[in-house]
Amino acid sequence: MCGIAGFCNLHGNFREDPGKYYHLLQTMGQVQKHRGPDDDGVFLQRHVGLAHVRLSIQDPKGGAQPMTRQLADGRRAAIVFNGEIYNSPSLREELKKDGIPFETTCDTEVLLLGYLRRGLDFLRSLNGIFSLAIWDEQLENLYLIRDRLGVKPLFYTLRGQTLVFSSELKGILSHPDVQAEVDAEGLCEVFGLGPARTSGKAVYRSIREVLPGTILEFSGGTVSETPYWRLESHPHEDSFEETVEKTRFLLTDSIRMQLLSDVPVCTFLSGGIDSSLVTAVCSDEMQKAGKRLSTYSFDFKGNDRNFRANAFQPSQDRPFVDLMITHCHTEHRYLECTNDDLYAHLFQAVEARDLPCMADVESSMLYFCKQVAKHHKVALTGECADEIFGGYPWFHKEECFEANTFPWSMDFTPRTALLRDEVLELLPLEEYAKAAYEDTLKECPALAGESPVEKRRREISFLNLRWFMQTLLERMDRTSMQAGLEARVPFADHRIVEYLWNVPWKMKSCGGREKGLLREASRGLLPKEITERKKSPYPKTYDPAYESLLRKELLSILSERTQPIGRLVDPRKVRSYLEKPSDYGKPFYGQLMAGPQLMAYLLQVNYWLKARKVRILL
């Protein structure tokens, strides 16, 4: 993985002051150096500047960027690319048959030469995760392109006639013409939807995000967007047996493809069915090559004493991790996070995301990624299985199914209970969230003749793909890349998502179990104890000392009048809230973010406002 950044002005000339703009490109790249600690480069022409920082995974010696290529017909283009194209070997062979010569074995060159030979239609042949910018010298067009499911980030803003873009928001914020400002809409994102974020919006005023599966074209000084991929609904005609077989093939094929790397690969292993399947397939492939897979599991120091089983988190991971280590003969490392590490990384996670995020659910992942990155550059994860196979409780609970709002965030009280009354008058939080929910449902691909119940199931699946999965993918990208680690997500292969989108619920939940289809597709690859394990999400700490630390720090901040969050949050309301016992069983977002995480989120909001010097426009 890498980081990209740049700017384009079709009516200006950056070469008139090259020193200034080379320095600016270097700055926009260096603030993202964690994404690419191995190498960096810049490209500057009359109308465009491109910057790149590189984490070397494929062809470490030959894949330097920005990269330029020219065909025999004179067509020339430059590219900066963040991601991996898993089917690049086969695409390279196809292009070679067309007479296209190659200088490297990296996937960046496949992308660039594929574009020069076949144009933007080449995107439809890609299997991978990517965000990229292509400058076509002949057309004088800049294209910003993002993968189908939005695994890799890409932000942009238009300042006068100059388009500025970057993998991370900090790259854009380092441009002298861009100020960190947030208005009522941005604050509605933070308090009404956070830690989720509306696709296409970046919270900061006037900064946008390239939508997943979309080509953004900057031509003639104007921006236009064209989707190149959308989900389509159609009747599922495969039998149950055929569905299980095809699902198994797609899963194992995706995992095997994502082993493509010129550096060692590891996996995250929680002992759940998702990460266990990824680990089992990877281990089998590596054993064929005479290698042993490395695996990592995550937990919190003292959780063996402090863990509290509840409906969302019924069991600890360790016994199931141990079972998989024996089953797959992996070289395993158990990683634990202390309260102090968890608290410190709350704010490092904000630096990584440039926004308040998933509190300690995110800060712990950042800590763990840093530990993994000491030994590996590439990790395969089990992320995204719950969204496509229906693993979350809101796929099953009646009250979630019938809720006229986001089913992972049905209780709006914590979002409004702590804000100042005058702020609540200015921020239509519930109305904003309701509009975002309804707008998403309007985009859900309908299937003619589907029953109301199945239509609603499809809506919940679409909400998960567009919202909840995006939040977790963003968490995975920022925490891993902040550590210089490439985290891959085999379950987010677009072929799997397309196929599972149309599989009826009775097949997905076969046997009356969450992720029943995944369990069936995994039989024979995993121990029965794993395929029958009740879902238990990513771990979190249950240590009361951590909660006490959060309470103490939040009260301390609210006692200081100079802290920016004091303009938004009512200290009296917070003190009253903190006097009540925490309820770990009633999260305000997802499955894990309950009372302690709300405190941590407010601490993150305050840090974000200070660290980014955010100007509040209310």
Which residue bears the tokens 């994502």? 258
d(CA 541, CA 306): 8
Residue with token string 């987010």: 492
The H or E element spanning position 40 is strand 39-44
- Residue 400 is among the residues annotated as catalytic for this protein: no
Neighbours of 354 (CB within 10 A): 24
Q: Which residues of 565-590 are buried (b: 16+ CB within 10 A; e: fewer)?
A: bbebbbbebbeebbeeebebeebbbb
**Run of H or E residues at 53:** strand 48-54
Q: How many CB atoms lie within 10 A of CB 79?
A: 25
Cis peptide leading into 195, omega within 30 of 0?
Answer: yes
Catalytic-role residue among 2, 106, 188, 369: 2
> With contact defined as beta carbons under 8 Å apart, do 376 and 266 qualify?
yes
Q: Is 59 exposed, middle or buried (0-12, 13-18, 19+ CB in 10 A)?
A: middle
Distance CA 598, CA 613 (A): 22
The radius of gyration of the chain's CA atoms, rounded to the nearest angstrom, is: 24
Which is nearest to 171 in space by CA: 48, 52, 55? Answer: 52
Q: 113: which residues sit within 8 A by CB, 6+ positions away?
A: 69, 71, 95, 100, 102
Torsion 319-320-325-326 (CA) sign: positive
User: How far is 415 from 565, CA to CA, in rounded Å?
Assistant: 14
DSSP annotation string for 130-160: EEEEEEETTTTEEEEEE-TT--S--EEEEET
- The candidate with the shortest Cα–Cα distance to 357, out of 585, 590, 554, 545, is 590
Q: If DSSP codes are grouped into helix, strand and coil, which group holds residue 297?
A: strand
**484 phi and psi angles, rounded to 5 deg:** 70, 35
Cα(251)–Cα(524) distance, integer angstroms: 14
Other Cβ atoms closer than 10 A to 441: 13
Query: Parallel, antiparallel, or unpaired for β 76-85 and 128-136?
Result: antiparallel
Catalytic residue positions, numbered: 2
